[in-house]
Amino acid sequence: MKLIKRPFYLENLINVKDIPDIKIITGVRRSGKSKLLDAFYDYLINDKDNKNVIRIKLNLKKFESLLKPDNLYDYVDKAYVDGIPNYLIIDEIQECVGFERVINSLYEEERFDIYLSGSNAFMLSSDLATLFGGRYFDLKMYPFSFREFNIYYNNEKPIDSFDDYVTKGGMSGSYLYKNQSDAYQYIDGIYKKTISRDIVKRFRVENEPLLQMIADYLMDNIGNKTSIRNIAKSLTSNSYKTNDKTVGSYVDYLCKSFLFYPFTRYDIKGNKYLESDKKYYLADLSFRFANIGTKNMDYGRLYENLVAIELLRREYEVYVGVLYDKEIDFVAIKNGYKYYIQVSDDISRSETFEREVKPLLSVKDAYPKMLIARTRHPESQYEGIRIVDIGEWLDNSK
């Protein structure tokens, strides 16, 4: 399998090296967590400083004896070398039932710098505080960005390769398949395993068909304001009885498994958050194509999804902007600065362009404003608003 360097994630790990926290890699299945730890291991062993690096992959037969917590502790304890830095890197930590007791003990002994990855069923970000208290650093991984996609395929013109990325997505394991239908079958397998193992098994979901229907609903409504009550009403009107509480729990599980990301609405004038009618975006568009195909295609909404995940990837705090009766797709906040972003498909028609810039022009503060669209043209400006082609903007990612 072809591999590319993902320096942004590796640099993040290197930057927290030797900091006394348990480093945990989280993200949707097959987003590259284990490969990142492989790259970090290579970095450590190639560094000339004297150190001891312990690498354990609990999904491999050679480490089967370590699936018992006492055996895992004894193995790590015996591998310790006094007088030099010791690094402990473990993949699929959840395979060892009772791993948290071992890891917490090793942490308290202050002998190892610890790095972990594991199945989302046991490494949900919401559970990390329970498992490890406040003693962890959560590095979030996402599927391939458009920039990484172009590096993988040696694409030099992002404007030309953008449409290909929209349909193929960022799940790099699917790139090995010559036929796109086979690639979607691979992606659908990841999706189904996330549903059955990371959600049904972890949360003891009793109604898997309902969970699947809710996931389909969210996929079909990417970028639309969505309330738990409306989902329940929609399913009930289709002769499937459910209630707000169950739907709310199932939506929460889908987000905790990193399949979907919820975006809260933000009142720009009132500087307050609005809890009602969140928007939900997929971790990767390929899940939508693999699961429901081209049903109800709205490229403007799909482009919103790409921008939403890219903003998270670039470590922005992101909200959906609300200003009176107008909506701005994203309010992105980083280092105390706000950025107002509108996303569209085709803005070549004057009425479409005016509709998209109107909400941005209504914002009276001095923070930067941007309209990202499929322009296929170099960047331009209108009344202080940057007009940027979505392919060019995504290609400038980390």
Tokens describing residue 371: 């309209």
Give 117's strand partners: 25
Give 260's strand partners: 282
Question: What is the C-alpha separation between 137 and 13, in angstroms, rounded?
Answer: 10
For residue 269, the number of C-alpha atoms closer than 13 Å in the C-beta half-sphere is 10
The per-residue pLDDT for 141 is 94
Question: What is the C-alpha separation between 14 and 371, in angstroms, rounded?
Answer: 35
Give 108-117 pLDDT, tens digit per residue.
999 999 999 9
Phi, psi of 291 (to 5 degrees): -100, -45
Question: What is the C-alpha separation between 243 and 247, in angstroms, rounded?
Answer: 6
The per-residue pLDDT for 299 is 94
Q: Which of 146, 209, 176, 130 is nearest to 1 (CA)?
A: 176
The DSSP 8-state label assigned to residue 383 in this structure reads: T
Domain boundaries, the chain: 7-141, 146-395
Signed CA dihedral, 341, 263, 314, 337: sign only: positive
Buried b (16+ CB within 10 A) or exposed e, 30-49: bbbbbbbbbbbbeebeeeee
The per-residue pLDDT for 123 is 64
Q: Which residues contact 260 (CB under 8 A, 6 or more apart)?
A: 215, 218, 251, 254, 280, 281, 282, 283
The DSSP 8-state label assigned to residue 394 in this structure reads: H
> Is 132:383 a contact under the CB 8 Å cutoff?
no
| pLDDT < 70 stretches in the chain | 1, 119-127, 270, 275, 397-398
Q: Which helix (H) or strand (E) holds 151?
A: helix 146-153
The per-residue pLDDT for 125 is 53
The per-residue pLDDT for 272 is 72
The per-residue pLDDT for 126 is 56
Tokens describing residue 170: 């960022």
- Strand 52-57 versus strand 86-91 pairing type: parallel
Q: What is the gyration radius of the CA atoms in the chain, in angstroms?
A: 22
Query: CATH number for the 7-141 domain, one of 3.40.50.12060, 3.30.450.370, 3.40.50.450, 3.30.1280.10?
Result: 3.40.50.12060
pTM, whole model, 2 decimals? 0.92
- Count of CB atoms within 10 A of residue 265's CB? 19
The per-residue pLDDT for 397 is 61
The per-residue pLDDT for 293 is 87
What DSSP string runs through 252-289? Answer: HHHHHTTSEEEEEEEETTTTEEEEEEEEEEES-HHHHH
